[in-house]
Structures are given as structure tokens and as C-alpha cells.
Structure 1
């Protein structure tokens, strides 16, 4: 199954790289040319999931999930923004501690 997933993904990337519309038929044609047997439903599902999306842009935005905005705001606004940026980190630590404590409340722990 892993080779099927890779084959369909690579086929979609090849189509996107060439600027060709990603369709189930074209995915199947590429996987068939690569001698990988793919059930039409998988090609259809992938084509439907990528319909109307710019695959190249999706790939270029993988690591930019908003991490740069707080850093830019902190450097632009000075120390006040940096102190404000620390507050969410503290809340995150509290949530993690509460989560760890809740495991103990259930009567089992990691090393029990």
C-alpha cells in the first residue's frame, strides 16, 4: 500500500510541476507507466482532494505555519512585544502540566 501512496503522490507532483490539471485519469496513466497497480478509487480521491489547489504553493508553504509573524512583531515592537510573546508559552506549559497531572488522576502513569 505504501508504494501505491507514493506512486499517486509522485504522479500528482509530476502533473503539478508540468502545470497539468491533476485528474484521476492522468494519475492512473502515470502510475500505469511506472508499472504500479493503483485502484482507481485512490487516484480519484487524491485528485478530488487536490482539486482547485495550487500544489506548488502548498509545498512552498509547508514550514511557514505562522511562526514568522510573532518573531517579526517582537523585533518590530521591541521588548514589550517580546514579553507579550512569552505569555502564550507560559500558558502552554501550564496546559502540559495539567495534562500530565490528569494522567496521574486516572490511576496509572508512565512507569506503573
Structure 2
């Protein structure tokens, strides 16, 4: 990547490190001070994307995920609350459903046959 592509991200990191609110004007000031030319639309988009977010927290949670829990986790949690026996039965049923779905995909011919 060229330095002009990374300039807005670096400018946002500089502002976040200094504890300054990330706005289009402040991003423009940092990028102009660095002598980099970039279209203002990109700075505006970045400022709106980071508006109200803690950039330092985002960086520290890069690999944390944060999405919805896995299906297996929900089954295990439900089984633990209701007793040990129901959880394995539910898991077996899910495995059977997955196997059936996989067999439905194979219709006896390939893409290049």
C-alpha cells in the first residue's frame, strides 16, 4: 500500500493517541502537516466511521471477535443449566442435521463434469 492510502488511518491513530476527538477537520490538519494529498471524502468517511468510538479499545480487541456466540456454546450453556443429560442428545441431533445437509449438496455431478 502506498503511504497516501495509509495516511488517514495513521492520522486517526495519532489523534486517538493524543486523546483528541477524531473529526474531518483534525484529520485534514494532520495529513496536511505531513504533506500528503488525499481526497476529503475519505477523511469524512473515516471520521464518521470512528465517531463516538474508542480507537484504543478497538485496537486492543482486534482478535477478540465480539460477534454472536457459536451454536455449540448455546447448546452447552442450555445443557449445563438444565442438567447433564439433555445436552448430548441435542448435540447428536444437530450433528445428524448437519450430515443430512451435506449429503443434500452432493447431487451426483460436479461443476466440470
TM-score between the two structures when normalised by the length of structure 1? 0.61
Aligned counterparts of 1:61 and 1:21: Cα–Cα separation in 2:
20
Q: CA 1:60/1:98 → structure 2, altered by over 3 Å: closer, same or farther? A: same
Q: For the aligned residues, what is the CA RMSD?
A: 4.0
Partner of residue 28, structure 1: 28
Q: 4+ residue runs of structure 1 moved beyond 2 angstroms?
A: 1-5, 94-102, 104-109
Larger Rg: 2
Instruction: Could you tell me which runs of 5 or more consecutive residues in structure 2 were left unpaired when the two chains were aligned.
Output: none
Q: Which runs of 5+ in 1 are unaligned?
A: none
Answer 1 or 2: which has greater helix percent: 1
Match of 2:9 in 1: 9
Alignment: residue pair count: 100
- Trace 1:59-74 onto structure 2 (pairs within 5 A): 59-65=59-65
